[in-house]
Amino acid sequence: MGVWRSGLAAGLLGLVLFANAGAVQAAALYGLAAGIDNYSSGPLSGAEADAADIAAALEAAGANEVVLLKGEDATRAAVLDAWTDLLSKAERGDTVIFSFAGKGSAGTDGPAYLLAGDTALSRQDILTRAKQADARGVHTLFLGDASFGGDLNRPVSALDVQLRQAASESVADGTGEAPIDERGFSYGSFVYGAAPGGAVPEVAIGSSRRGALSWAFARALQGAADANRDGAIDDHELRRYLGLAVGALTEGQQTPHIVPNRLTPVTLAPVSRDGNVAADDDGPLRLAVIGEVPPALESESGIEVVSDPGEAELIWNRAEKRLDHYLGGQVAEGVDRRRLAPALAKWKALKRLRLRAALMPAPIDLVSGDRLYGDGDFVQIEVLPGRYPYLTIFDLSPEGWVVPILPADASGADKQWKEHIHQMFRQSSPPNGALHRVVIFSKSPMTGLQVALKRMEGKGATGLSEALAKAFADESAVQVGIFPIYSGQASGQASGTEPSALAP
């Protein structure tokens, strides 16, 4: 167990004034972070790292006390003692944050979080104590990075996806609802990895596997969610940020569930004093090959060939000419050795874009949903005005072809976008694959990137990752959004969704 303590000096943090807290006062912050990797039902890779990451972010945000419980230290008794103790120390207007990363189970008494020593913590255990604190005007935030037997947003066929749930348990009708209704809290906020029936996977972030929700929450505490730059995050900011960030990290496969949904925001916590948001290194794209590995692939820049598909981000079945993303599912078909190069170039570029989409997400919405689209299905997207005025949009087809969309020509490069963009288009004879629409808002025009995109138009994305690296080096003030549009209806035709004109 680790306990960190630091004074909350007003001169360092300023006054963080909490909404609905009664008298104006400097608010104290307390944190508990628990994470477990070692389970008898199968180990996880990143839950303990998640807990340590959140604990460090809480400390950097100036928390008065942070308790870190990992592995064997995270027993039911230890977690409940720490949760109860921190709640008892908090006064009206203070905030207590409790994060859990590990496996969940749909137990006979409702959803439960599995702890060390074959013990468990029910959602009722958490809500009962939070309700008592709520009556005293104490703000609570619980973050549960686990699931209880549900499914991802889209089916993934025969791939090794590590879910944060006990494989031996299943969800029965009616489970997933706690006896205490979270909607009745005045000051409590509850962030679950997925809604009832949803699943929480471990995802590749940088060079490791982590929980997308925990990773994004730590970045939120570092300031990524502080949209109005007032030095604190509220539940409205957190809801918007986590939905976009987790979606970007999981190819739209995971949707956080946050309750209650209030009309008036409640301030939760200050953000890191240094204002620096830490980002993991992009790292090489890890590829597993089922079949003979082409010799030239071993030395290709930005690609790491791994022997275990469970460690890969992309899996190429050479005999079936099929390319799969470990979490998204099938992303391209008809991929022989010649067609592999542009497909890999696309995914190298997406790897570079994804972390930026999680750290500084553009305000986008795949209105028609993260699902498999069939022939004739409509895709509906929305792009809201971003923080920055200049807009670049382009498509990356399943095969890796580049289709520039905005600006339509060089004369539009200086246009400042303030409009709400709504677009609907129909999927026509889709392959089994994934089209990605990329949205970039920037503080200054990204002319160099736009020229590079035009040069690649109708061709493969070779060189796109390098063009993005240069563009982001020249202009770091960006917001990035990625629409992952997956098609699941087999077709013998070549891929292609003809992009329609964008209209405000």
- In CATH terms, are 2-270 and 351-487 the same topology? no
What pLDDT sits at residue 348? Answer: 96
DSSP code of residue 224: I
What pLDDT sits at residue 117? Answer: 83
Quick one: which of 161, 183, 337 has its CA closest to 254?
A: 161
What pLDDT sits at residue 127? Answer: 93
User: Within the chain, how many helices (H) and strands (E) appear?
Assistant: 9, 27
What are the pLDDT digits (tens) for 18-45? 433 333 346 899 999 999 999 988 899 9
| CA 352 remoteness from chain centre | 15
Fold for domain 2-270? Rossmann fold (3.40.50)
**Torsion sign across C-alpha atoms 222, 226, 232, 234:** negative
| Order of strands, sheet of 119-122, starting from the edge strand that comes earlier in the sequence | 104-107, 110-115, 119-122
What pLDDT sits at residue 123? Answer: 87
Quick one: which of 436, 371, 365, 430 has its CA closest to 156?
A: 371
Secondary structure E strands in 312-357: 314-317, 322-325, 329-333
425 burial level (CB within 10 Å; 0-12, 13-18, 19+):
middle
Across 300-339, b (16+ Cβ under 10 Å) vs e yields bebbbbeeebeebbbbbbbeeebbbbbbbbbbbbbbeeeb
Q: Which CATH class is domain 351-487?
A: mainly beta
Whole-angstrom CA distances from 441 to 86, 245, 281, 289, 445 are: 41, 16, 22, 36, 9
Q: Would you list the domain boundaries of the chain?
A: 2-270, 351-487
What are the pLDDT digits (tens) for 144-200? 999 887 888 887 764 578 888 885 443 333 334 447 889 999 999 999 999 888 899
CA distance 464 to 483: 18
CA distance 86 to 95: 10
CA distance 98 to 84: 11
DSSP states along 282-293: --PEEEEEESPP
Q: Which residues of the chain have pLDDT under 50?
A: 1-25, 158, 168-178, 490-504
What pLDDT sits at residue 15? Answer: 34
| Order of strands, sheet of 433-442, starting from the edge strand that comes earlier in the sequence | 372-373, 478-487, 433-442, 390-396, 402-406
**3-state SS record for 111-165:** EEEEEECCEEEEHHHHHHHHHHHHHCCCEEEEEEECCCCCECCCCCCCCCCCECE
CA distance 11 to 15: 8
DSSP states along 36-84: ----TT---SSHHHHHHHHHHHHHHTT-SEEEEEEGGG-BHHHHHHHHH
